[in-house]
A and B are shown apart, each in its own frame.
Chain A
């Protein structure tokens, strides 16, 4: 299967120890690599610009879809403003029953289920717009809905056969049954491939017996339908040996043997039910295998990848909400004789909050637009958007509290609840740390392939003279700091050409850095996490520059009233992002950072040895 097919130029043996995390992260996620990708992110790692998915800013809704969406927004907003009580949900540590009923009647549980199976049949972009409303008001409810439809039964939508779809989707769409996604186990979080829940085929061959325990399952205590991942021994076609592979199953609580633990007590999203789920000899009919037998890992990663844009959309709504509160406070609070929004310190906070929200929103709708247009290789962008959105939202909420001062700290303002709700977003659905490795390694893999094909061309230089001459010139010019003719002219609005130049310059430097890292480390780049993190940070900043250039260009071209405001958001972002990228590029070249990496390793090792901080107390005791 593609899962274990090693990329062409990097045939290395299977990881020797199950702890070879980086290898597994990379290989596991390599299911997404496609040839001749149109993805901007994939190409930027090669120092190339492929504008097809990013310019112009996607507008994918036709008139009917736009009109329909416009009709959906007011009732949903009204429901969340008037019926849902986020403070009550937070203190009860559950979504109020009347609210759940209202959401079910509203149709909120089957937004992307096709209409002929009882759902609302929304496209990704339409779904993003509605999820933005939920994110603005109540993330606890957002996770209840998201755990159900964004991941809980998404597998059935993506991989289910028609029998499975017809059997399960109608009741899931109406909310009569709730769904949960069961992957994580006590000893398997980021290392999802190491799960231990087993599925054993019964002697009669009609069902599998599921045994194991899952932890931290959202909706675990409420769900009727579970997407469960378990391992089973599969015969490898080529070698004939038995290997443990993961299979995805649709499991009904009514099959018997499914129990769950009490609701976990959490820092935030308290209204969302989180529980352990145990499977004790649960008989699962063979018809309930989801996707291919042994193809469960791909199913899991596809589900998570497919739902990721929703997080950026929801969080852009959350940020809008807290920003309104911060602005309202700053515009009215008087200290030292003036409204505090007249002070530079506050102005900087508000402006940065606005930029972070603008980037997140732009990413969310660019990605949902690409997905709706049929793109299949959006995985790097989706990962980037998840990392960016979760960290931006945390920063924005934190700064909102700071602007509001003591009031922000008080329960009554509601912002502390938002802050507590937001913390988990950097952790679940792929920790931001793992996703950074994923972004960097994916990029390296494709760039590496490109270099390999160049190496091949070198073996036949006369036949490939043109290609080689071009590549050599490009490299010589880049290393001399000269431009190689890459340009965004024609793609972006002329008023943004300076920012566009910054982006192009950044891409050129980024491309060189990637190549240098590959030359320096080769396939051991897998293990250079300090490098990978900085590469990922640069990739995120680069993609962010491009999305705001695209969005601001569109606003300028369409003559929006806010176009000039968006222009300065875009320009400010690009100047600072470019600075960060250049710093990362310099750091990755410098010897002092190599020393820093060594220091970091040593400090960490000493801490582990000492069980904590190492230096003795300044007082000696």
Chain B
């Protein structure tokens, strides 16, 4: 029962300028640089740190997606995870894969792998859903500590400091539990070349959602994707009176 499951998602790299496809069905992903979701990196780092503190025996990295998802799993292995699971989802199924289906997959795996802790990034930078962690906990009927900026294991409980609008909230939840990582939880380590070499020997198991008894049919249909409207130029005014007049003019006040 000393196992941590970490979810890692392959997303378009944060530095890339995202472009909408000409048919407005989505964004261009072909030939575009992808990397591990930054919040997932933080999740992996936390899991590996907990293992290094000898609080857990094994860290398993999981990713759902096409063949390239194994690259992301390998990065997690290079950061210190012990083994990986690639849940293969391709083509149209992958395009419509969202938090509900992923959380079903994670719930099934958490049970199968007898994980004590599931750590996920708080959200992915491509869809910004911020739902998978919460849904996974609900499906498992496990407690959840989301937006974690600090995680401490105290016996069979987890103390989580959460970043909320009003400040910081500290909660204590029973394990098994789901935790989602926020920005200030830790600073992810760099995968070193020797660790990448060692990671080559670690195993990545391959399976399909059906093997876990999960139905990944989507209940959502994307109708259209558009770029945000171009920002209009601002107007400079000389005096406060001018400002008030302009605001009245535009109907703002």
Q: Could you tell me which A residues sit within 8 Å of B by CB distance? A: 68, 70-72, 74-76, 78-79, 83, 102, 105-108, 111, 115, 120, 561
Contact = CB atoms under 8 A, between A and B. Distances in A.
Contacts of B199: 71
A68 B74 CA distance: 10
Contact of A106 (B31, B193, B200): B193
B71 A75 contact: no
Contacts of B35: 74
Nearest to A74: B35
A137 to B, nearest CB: 15
Given A72-B196, A74-B35, A75-B196, A106 B78 contact: no
Contacts of B192: 75, 105-107
B190 A68 contact: no
Interface string B3-44: 000000000000000000000000000010001000000000
Contacts of A107: 192-194, 197
A41 B176 CA distance: 68
Interface in B123-161: none
Given A68-B196, A106-B192, 19 more contacts: A71-B196, A72-B193, A72-B196, A74-B75, A74-B191, A75-B78, A75-B190, A75-B191, A75-B193, A75-B196, A76-B193, A83-B190, A102-B190, A105-B192, A106-B190, A107-B193, A108-B193, A115-B197, A120-B194
A120 B197 contact: yes
Given A68-B200, A71-B71, A120 B190 contact: no
Contacts of A78: 190
Max chain A C-beta neighbours (<10 A), residue from B74, B78, B197: B197
B11 to A, nearest CB: 13
Nearest to A561: B31
A78 B191 CA distance: 10
Contacts of B196: 68, 71-72, 75
Smallest CB-CB A-B distances: 6 pairs: A107-B193, A75-B191, A107-B194, A106-B192, A120-B193, A71-B196
Contacts of A102: 190
A560 B2 CA distance: 49
Nearest to A78: B190
Q: How large is the interface on B (under 10, 10 to 19, 20 to 34, 35 or more residues)?
A: 10 to 19
Nearest to A102: B190
Interface in B61-78: 71, 74-75, 78
Contacts of A120: 193-194, 197
Interface string B73-85: 0110010000000
Contacts of B194: 107, 120
Nearest to B36: A74
Interface of B: 31, 35, 71, 74-75, 78, 190-194, 196-197, 199-200
Nearest to A104: B192
B191 to A, nearest CB: 4
Given A115-B197, A120-B197, A71 B74 contact: yes
22 contacts: A71-B78, A71-B196, A71-B199, A72-B193, A74-B191, A75-B78, A75-B191, A75-B193, A75-B196, A76-B193, A78-B190, A79-B190, A105-B192, A106-B190, A106-B193, A107-B192, A107-B194, A107-B197, A115-B197, A120-B193, A120-B194, A120-B197
Question: Is chain A's interface secondary structure helix, strand, loop, or mixed overall?
Answer: helix
A566 to B, nearest CB: 16
A106 B197 CA distance: 11
Contacts of A105: 190, 192
A90 B104 CA distance: 53
Contacts of A111: 193
Contacts of A75: 78, 190-193, 196
A103 B139 CA distance: 44
Max chain A C-beta neighbours (<10 A), residue from B31, B191, B200: B191
A403 to B, nearest CB: 22
Max chain B C-beta neighbours (<10 A), residue from A70, A102, A120: A120
A341 B145 CA distance: 52
B27 to A, nearest CB: 18
Contacts of A70: 71
A163 to B, nearest CB: 24
B38 to A, nearest CB: 11
Max chain B C-beta neighbours (<10 A), residue from A75, A79, A107, A111: A75
Nearest to B31: A561
A76 B195 CA distance: 13
Given A115-B197, A120-B197, A71 B190 contact: no
Nearest to B199: A71
A259 B200 CA distance: 43
Nearest to A121: B197
A353 B199 CA distance: 40
A68 B200 CA distance: 8
A54 to B, nearest CB: 28
Contacts of B74: 71
A561 B191 CA distance: 32
Contacts of A76: 193
Contacts of B191: 71, 74-75
A72 B195 CA distance: 10
Nearest to B195: A107
Contacts of B71: 70-71
Contacts of A106: 190, 192-193
A562 B78 CA distance: 33
A263 B242 CA distance: 63
Nearest to A64: B200
Nearest to B35: A74
B40 to A, nearest CB: 14
Nearest to B200: A68
A78 B196 CA distance: 14
Nearest to A70: B71
A334 B191 CA distance: 42
Nearest to A68: B200
A115 B198 CA distance: 11
A171 to B, nearest CB: 14
A76 B35 CA distance: 14
Contacts of B75: 71, 74
Max chain A C-beta neighbours (<10 A), residue from B35, B78, B192, B196: B192
Nearest to B70: A67
A145 to B, nearest CB: 13
A72 B197 CA distance: 9
A546 B75 CA distance: 39
Nearest to A120: B193
B85 to A, nearest CB: 19
A85 to B, nearest CB: 15
A79 B192 CA distance: 10
Contacts of A115: 197
A72 B74 CA distance: 11
A155 B31 CA distance: 41
A561 B32 CA distance: 13
A71 B70 CA distance: 11
A106 B31 CA distance: 28
A107 B191 CA distance: 10
